[in-house]
Amino acid sequence: MPNAILDPTGRADHTPQHAAGLALAPRRASLAGVRVGLMDNTKHNAALLLAEIGKLLITEHGAAVTVAATKANFAAPAPDDLIQRYRQDCDVVITGVGDCGSCSASAVADGIVFEQAGMPAAVICSDAFRVTATAMAQLRGVPDYAYLVTEHPVAVLSGEQVVQRAKRLLPGVVDMLTSGTSQ
């Protein structure tokens, strides 16, 4: 009987830690009066894009305020204290831009954490990173997790182009925060 060939992954009989699936946070029918958290990940134009979307949610959808903060380490999921701050100060969260190998994956991880914390979340990734964003969703046991994509690249856009991009993303963000899907 020859020796067995060893599996180098350590995952041969592994069931994912987060395999319970995801119940999305309860949605409201409208965004009127809600406090909108904006969590940018330091990627260039991310803060501006989120701020512009936030402004449109206030002027066009009656959101009350926006609360902006930065996730300093774009590569890692948001630390617990940052999640807790949003939980205290906001009703919904928008985060992004997933615009690199690790930050697109971690943006999706953040969105899932926000949903688990009871906050509707809209995650925005560049379309060049769909595969890695979806890989993270699978890793978290939520393979069908819905996030928004915007055309790559984002970092080279002018301020005016970012404003236009925000307008285009707005309907998807509203859908995501109110129904949990985007058209």
The tokens for 112 are 């899932």
109 binds another protein (CB under 8 A): yes
102 binds another protein (CB under 8 A): yes
10 binds another protein (CB under 8 A): yes
Closest to another protein by CB, 48 or 58: 48
DSSP 137: H
177 binds another protein (CB under 8 A): no
The tokens for 25 are 């946070």
116-145 positions binding another protein, by CB under 8 A = 129, 131-132, 135-136, 139
CB of 25 to another protein, least distance (A): 21
Tokens 């609360």, residue located? 67
Q: Where are the alpha helices (DSSP H) in the chain?
A: 46-61, 80-89, 101-116, 130-139, 159-178
Closest to another protein by CB, 136 or 173: 136
Applying CB under 8 A, among 16, 33, 62, 171 the residue interacting with another protein is 16
Closest to another protein by CB, 35 or 130: 130
With contact defined as beta carbons under 8 Å apart, do 101 and 74 qualify? no
C-alpha 95/C-alpha 92 separation (Å) is 10
